[in-house]
Amino acid sequence: MKFHKTGLPSPSRDWALFLDFDGTLTELAPTPDAVSVDPALRSVLAALEEGLGGALAIVSGRPLSEIDALLGIGLPGAGVHGLELRETRGGAVQPPRDMAAIRVIERALAPMVEADPRLILERKPGAIAFHYRRAPEREDECRAAMARALDGLPGMALIDGKMVLEVKPDHISKGVAIARLLDVEPFAGRIPVFAGDDRTDEDGFEVVNAMKGITIKIGPGATRASHRISSVDALLAWLKEVSRLLSV
Ligand SMILES: [Mg+2]
């Protein structure tokens, strides 16, 4: 991939790089635990971390424990759309406060999920995700059930993802998490660069745009991002080129 094709500026050691995981660094899989990590990804991330003085973070909807298991390294970052935060490499994860509302939603949706093994209810720290990727014809029913479950639960936000309906507290977002990381070393004072593919990444794009950073949407679809890269493979090729240029 050549830079003139993406329109992206040449990489700088002053960048702080924030990367979404699913649909950005890896292709989406039918279920969250079926995702596979390209072995080359780990070496690219290690090279980027080195070239950016450690200013590399993963900003994902997954819990950070899952990201760590998939990547084999404890990068700084935000999990569960910003509900979890880890400011330093290998450091402790600041967990979300326990959310009773999540348990209410879980109980409301449980009978539907128990009756159809294609539906998956994924419990996360402080959030819950209702996957219907394997039963797309039930989308309307799933939406209706989630709407009923949310009725009377103020302060919760519904995230309409790719074949997944997710609920989290509405005052937390990927944008808030990126802003918090940009307050601490080694991210502070750097130019934020954020790449993501899905609805929740738009909050991050908004924050990074406001800070005069660089935002990259992966794949098609409307976006507030300033740049676009067509696919996961194309992003990995670009990241590899960035790491190479930062090392010379
Ligand atoms: Mg994603």
Spacing, Cα 35 to ligand 1 middle (Å): 12
Q: Which CATH number fits domain 100-169: 3.30.70, 2.30.30, 2.40.128, 1.10.10?
A: 3.30.70
Spacing, Cα 86 to ligand 1 middle (Å): 19
Spacing, Cα 61 to ligand 1 middle (Å): 7
Distance CA 59, CA 196 (A): 9
DSSP lists the bridge partners of residue 79 as 84
Do 49 and 57 form a contact (C-beta atoms < 8 A)?
no
Q: Which two tokens stand for residue 200?
A: 């929740």
Distance CA 117, CA 120 (A): 7
- DSSP E strands: which ranges in 89-181? 120-124, 127-131, 156-160, 164-169
Tens-digit pLDDT string for the chain (248 aa): 445 456 899 999 999 999 999 999 998 877 777 788 888 899 999 999 999 999 999 999 999 999 999 999 899 999 999 999 999 998 989 877 767 889 899 999 999 999 999 999 998 888 999 999 999 999 999 999 999 999 988 889 998 888 999 999 888 899 999 999 999 999 999 999 999 999 889 999 999 999 999 999 999 999 999 999 999 999 999 999 999 999 88
> How is the chain split into domains, by residue range?
3-96+172-247, 100-169
Q: For domain 3-96+172-247, say whether CATH 3.40.50.1000 is its number.
A: yes
pTM given for the model: 0.85
Instruction: Tell me the catalytic residues.
Output: 20
Distance CA 202, CA 189 (A): 22
Spacing, Cα 197 to ligand 1 middle (Å): 5
Q: How many residues does the chain have?
A: 248
Evaluate the omega torsion of the peptide bond into residue 169 and state whether it is cis, within 30 degrees of 0. no
